[in-house]
Amino acid sequence: RDALVTSAVNCLTSFLSGFVIFTVLGYMAEMRDVEVEDVARDKGPSLLFITYPEAIANMVGSTFFAIIFFLMMITLGLDSTFGGLEAVITAVMDEYPQVLAGRRELFVLGLITVCFLGSLSTLTYGGAYVVKLLEEFGAGCSILAVVLLETIAVSWFYGIQRFSHDVKAMLGFTPGMFWKVCWVAVSPALLAFIVISSLLDQPPLTLFDYQYPEWSISVGYLIGASSFICIPFYMVYKLVWTPGSLKQ
């Protein structure tokens, strides 16, 4: 029930946000006397920091809505940061409990400091181009690749029968054949198709009138690969250092 409620709320929220976005775009198209698709060509930072503030400036009570809008952007950024940082913190703390026991605060401080220093490049004169590069290669396809590896690890290596027993222990019933087929075959196949098609159909990376050079595209691929390449590396590491045969 919780999964159905969460999915329904997520879909309704996306539906509502679509109304809000295209209402604003339609209003700006009317103000500029252009087509909606011409306004929608403003992507990324231009749409967020130019088009929307321009629309808010024409509203009644524009100051109040501008404050609410940018507070929303700050909270969205903080929320995304909490999720990503907590994943790294929890994984490292669980892997090295003897070393980091009682030192969680120092570890979190060090991790945040590293993230802060790494993000300083986005505050330079060319920061918008760095953000665009990270936006294109740091998420999206790399996240789907991580999900694909997770699906394969659970369904194929851990075993669908063992996973079904775990679900029964938690929920009280065994998943049906439909879910097992989806976990073993349908989901990995669809995820692999999306990842491969995304890699094969990469348009030239541009921002405003600037086209990124080839070496920056290679850097982008390295950034994207760094998100999931540690998973197979760690798998090989555990296979080598864990006692017993490969079958065991």
Whether residue 128 is contained in a domain is answered as no
Whether residue 5 is contained in a domain is answered as no
The number of distinct structural domains making up the chain is 1
Whether residue 152 is contained in a domain is answered as yes
Distance (Å, whole) CA 47 – CA 25? 10
C-alpha 189: how far from chain center? 20
Helix 214-226, helix 127-137: angle, nearest 10 = 50
Distance (Å, whole) CA 203 – CA 215? 15
Taking the whole predicted model, whether its pTM rises above 0.85 is answered as: no
Question: Which of 17-21, 41-45, 67-71, 131-135 is predicted least confidently?
Answer: 41-45
List beta partners, residue 207: 210
Q: Which domain holds residue 155?
A: 141-241
Whether residue 177 is contained in a domain is answered as yes
The reply to whether 10 sits in an annotated binding site is yes
Phi, psi (rounded to 5 degrees) for 201: -115, 70
Q: What is the pLDDT of residues 144-197, one digit of tens each?
A: 888 898 899 899 888 899 999 998 888 888 888 998 999 999 999 999 998 888
The reply to whether 80 sits in an annotated binding site is yes
Whether residue 233 is contained in a domain is answered as yes
Question: Which of 8-12, 43-47, 60-64, 192-196 is predicted least confidently?
Answer: 43-47
pLDDT at 186: 92
Q: What is the pLDDT of residues 197-208, one digit of tens each?
A: 888 877 788 877
Whether residue 195 is contained in a domain is answered as yes
The reply to whether 246 sits in an annotated binding site is no
pLDDT at 197: 86
Whether residue 100 is contained in a domain is answered as no
Whether residue 229 is contained in a domain is answered as yes
The reply to whether 16 sits in an annotated binding site is no
pLDDT at 189: 93
